[in-house]
Amino acid sequence: MAIDISVIIPTHHREDQLLEAIGSVLSQRDVSFEIIVVDDSASGSARDAVASVADARIRYRKRPQPSGGVPALVRNDGAHMAQGRYLYFLDDDDLLEPGTLALMSQALDAAPNAGMAFGVIEPFGDDEARLRDHQTYFREARRIARRLHGRHKLGATLVFRPSILVNSACMGRRSAFFDAGGYDAKIPVCEDADLWGRIAQATGFIFIDRPVVRYRTGAPSLMHNLAAQDQKLHISYRRIQGKYRQTHGLFTFLVMKIWARTVLR
C-alpha cells in the first residue's frame, strides 16, 4: 500500500512525551502514514519506548552520532528514510489534532503546485503565564497568516519577522523538500522558518485556518528558550537573510524587508 505521509519525530530523552506524540499520530484516520522516530541521544534512550508500541507503521533509528543540538541534521535523517509523498515533522512534545493529516494532505492534493501547507497552532501547558504568552503570540500569527496572499509574502514574513509557524504545524511535499535542499544545518535555531520560507517562495503554499497541532509550552526546548539564545538567533537570522538577499537581489531584499516590517502589521 502506498504511503501518503511520513511523520518524522526527532527525539532526545523525552520518552513519555514521545509516546503521547506517537499516540496522536496513530489516532489519525482516512490517510495512510508511517512514523519515523529518529533518536538523537547517545544511549538510544527511546528504543524501548518505541518498541512498546506494537504497530508496524513505526520505524526507529538511532543516529550513529548525536547531532550536538543541531535539529536540522536529525530531521534531514528522517526525511531520507521517508517513503511518503508528504513529510510532516512533528516535535516529540507536540500533539496532532484529530484529522490533521487527512485535512492537510487533501489540501495539498487539491493544489498540486503548492509545496507546503501550514495550519493554526494551539498552545497548551501547565504554566499559565507562559501559556498566555504563547496564546497571544499564536493568535497574532494566525491574524498575519490570514493576510498573506502570494508565495513571496510568506517567505518574506518568515525572513523579516518573528516566525508565524513551527515545524509541527507544517506539511510539505517530499519532492519540494529535497528540491529545496532540506534543512540548513548551519542555522542553529529557526531552521524551520528558513526551510518553509524557501519552499513557499519556490512553489507556493496553503494556509489552513484551523488548529492542526497542540504545541506544548511547558517543557524546555530550543523554541521555548529563545530569549536566552540571542547569539544563536543573531547567527541564524544573519544567515537566513543573507541567503534571501543572495537569491533575490538587494532591491527585492530591501523592498520586502520594508513591506514585512511596515505594511504587514
d(CA 200, CA 117): 9
Neighbours of 224 (CB within 10 A): 18
Beta-carbon-side half-sphere exposure of residue 2 (alpha carbons within 13 Å): 3
**Residue-range definition of the domain harbouring residue 212:** 5-263
pTM (2 decimals)? 0.93
- The whole-number pLDDT of residue 261 equals 87
- Cell numbers 529557526 correspond to 190
Number of domains forming the structure of the chain: 1
Q: Which helix (H) or strand (E) holds 206?
A: strand 205-216
Q: Would you state the pLDDT for residue 23?
A: 98
Digit-by-digit pLDDT tens for the chain (265 residues) are 689 999 999 999 999 999 999 999 999 999 999 999 999 999 999 999 999 998 999 999 999 999 998 999 999 999 999 999 999 999 999 999 999 999 999 999 999 999 999 999 999 999 999 999 999 999 999 999 999 988 899 999 999 999 999 999 999 999 999 999 999 999 988 999 999 999 999 999 999 999 999 999 975 444 444 455 678 888 999 999 999 999 999 999 999 999 998 887 7
| C-beta of residue 86 within 8 angstroms of C-beta of residue 6 | yes
Q: Give how far Cα 62 sits from Cα of 35, 78, 147, 178, Å.
A: 14, 10, 41, 22
Residue 226, pLDDT score: 46
Q: List the CATH number of the domain containing 150.
A: 3.90.550.10
